[in-house]
Amino acid sequence: MLQMVQGVLLLVDAAEGVMPQTRFVLRKALELDLKAIVVVNKIDRRDARSQEVVNEAFDLFIELGANDVQADFPVIFTNAKAGIAKRQLDDPSDSLEPLFETIVSHVPEAPAEDGNFQLLISAIDHNKYVGRIGIGRIFRGTSRLNAPIAKVSRDGTVATGLRLTTLLTFQGLERIEVSEASAGDIVCISGIDDLNIGDTIADAEQPEGIHAVAVDEPTVSMSFSVNNSPFAGREGKYLTSRQIRERLMRELESNVALRVADTGSADTFEVRGRGELHLSILIETMRREGYELAVSKPQVIVMERDGKRWEPVEYVVVDVPEAYSGSVIESLGKRKAVMSNMINVAESRRLEYTMPTRAIFGLRGELLTLTRGTAVMSHTYYDHQEWQGELPGRSVGALVASDTGRTTGYALAGLEQRGEFFVGPGIDVYEGMIVGRTNDDRDVAINVVREKKLTNMRAAGSDENVRLAPPDELSLERAIEFIEDDELVEVTPKSIRLRKRLLDEGDRLKARKRESTRTTV
């Protein structure tokens, strides 16, 4: 997408400052030598530190290798909610005109180069009627509707005998048909098979490709499989492996960073993406569309270089109250995190680290526990580095339902000392379903559906007076972070459940014994 523009607005919060996502996008923009305007937003916040944030932005530019011209960026201070922009904090302003004027004066027009037609595809959309839609900027020349064209792939392969059958440009948020477009225009085209980001649509007589920014390879994989739990089919509309496969193949039409592969099982697919969040968004989208599936714990994709194993590493920022910073630093140290910076931000402490991507799985929940829900963590891909050895696993075990039925307040109240529950009373559960976390590192099978025996002195209605701590209902992202290799997340349009791969307690005991025997040998 960055190859379609001549400049960027680097939006930074006046209080939070530079975040990991800021670093990633800015690095890409600097590599393309794009003009940058730093916009410090939310200057009305009580904890705003606008000038300090500008200094942080400058330091980031230098750290990412910006040259003197790139580092000499203009700064605009804004309150977007009020529609106000200023060149200086004490300037009077009642509009966004200073921002628009800075864009006009600082960002150059796209060069209108003459010569043979060249259009670089920088984004992909999909429409069920016309198929793949390529979106990109015309770098050179002019073309008309129905003109003969060629497709030059990223690897240099040329496909000829094509025609420009669809040509759309943008007017606001709308796409409008045009008969002609020239250098500098951003257009949409369709009707070309196997169109991908990085392809060049060129003049048929002299097809020349344009060097494109490489699409980053996936770093994390997960297994998507058919839901085979006892509650399968209760809530979803699309349940079969064929329906799940078709949906994943359709996602590939527009999600270019995604990879999907078959596995040894017809009911399971390996899905690779640019991090846990990338895959979580896909899962959430599918469940909202009516799909039911089971997903595994994320696994990092390891590369081989010069006979050594290399793994993805993330740049991580944690904002935490000073009182909890010591325990957070200790926790991150156990996960082989390397601190790069520590600064005070208002009443909090900001900790900046690089750490293996696999070390982040489950970290968010651990930090929330350590800081009583006050920690804020964000991260983005940083680099690949040599494999950093084994990491500690989940520090707590799972409370696993031993019976199928509906949870009762009576049963939960008697088991509260065993750990923290993910479910409350009146919830349907099945044998092998994870209903909570233990206080230690061992899994415990418990009966959460047990009912109180009725006597002449005890009535069933008295069970309603039981007082329980509110359950910790896990979101999809937290559920994925919590599970281990022998567990799955069951995802349906209405529910997110955690379960063991082997639902029967006896089968799990046998599996653990076999694993222990192999480890000993």
- Over residues 477-486, the pLDDT tens digits come to 889 989 999 9
Q: Reduced to 3 states, what is the DSSP secondary structure of residue 398?
A: strand
| pLDDT for 457 | 54
In the chain, where are the structural domains located? 2-106, 118-203, 303-386, 398-520
Whether domain 118-203 has CATH 2.40.30.10: the reply is: yes
Look up the CATH architecture of domain 398-520: Beta Barrel (2.40)
* pLDDT > 70 in the chain, percent: 96
Long-range contacts of 437-440 (CB under 8 A, 24+ apart): 437/396, 437/397, 437/398, 437/399, 437/482, 438/396, 438/397, 438/398, 438/399, 439/396, 440/396, 440/397
DSSP state of 421: E
Q: Are 399 and 437 in contact (CB under 8 A)?
A: yes
**Is the Cα torsion angle 89, 91, 97, 100 positive or negative in sign?**
negative
What does pTM read for this prediction? 0.78
Find how far residue 131's CA is from the centre of its chain. Answer: 26
Nearest to 365 by CA among 457, 451, 437: 437
Residue 459 pLDDT > 60 = no
| pLDDT for 19 | 81
Rounded to the nearest integer, the mean pLDDT of the chain is: 88
Q: Provide mean pLDDT across the span 342-366.
A: 85
Q: How far is Cα 254 from Cα 365, in angstroms, rounded to an integer?
A: 32
| pLDDT for 462 | 52
Fold classified for 303-386 = Alpha-Beta Plaits (3.30.70)
Tokens at 340, concatenated: 């790069």
| pLDDT for 520 | 61
pLDDT greater at residue 458 or residue 446: 446
Torsion of CA 323, 362, 60, 105, to 10 degrees: -110
The per-residue pLDDT for range 391-434, each reduced to its tens digit, is: 887 888 999 999 999 999 999 999 999 999 999 999 999 999 99
| pLDDT for 252 | 86
CATH class of residue range 2-106: alpha beta
Q: How far is Cα 201 from Cα 248, in angstroms, rounded to an integer?
A: 27
Q: How far is Cα 378 from Cα 352, in angstroms, rounded to an integer?
A: 10
| pLDDT for 257 | 85
Long-range contacts of 336-341 (CB under 8 A, 24+ apart): 336/388, 336/389, 336/391
Alpha carbons within 13 angstroms on the beta-carbon side of residue 345 total 27
Q: How far is Cα 184 from Cα 166, in angstroms, rounded to an integer?
A: 18
Nearest to 318 by CA among 310, 307, 326, 309: 326
Alpha carbons within 13 angstroms on the beta-carbon side of residue 364 total 18
The per-residue pLDDT for range 251-278, each reduced to its tens digit, is: 887 787 899 999 999 999 999 998 888 9
Residue 519 pLDDT > 70 = no
Q: Which residues of 453-474 are buried (b: 16+ CB within 10 A; e: fewer)?
A: eeeeeeeeeebeeeeeeebeeb
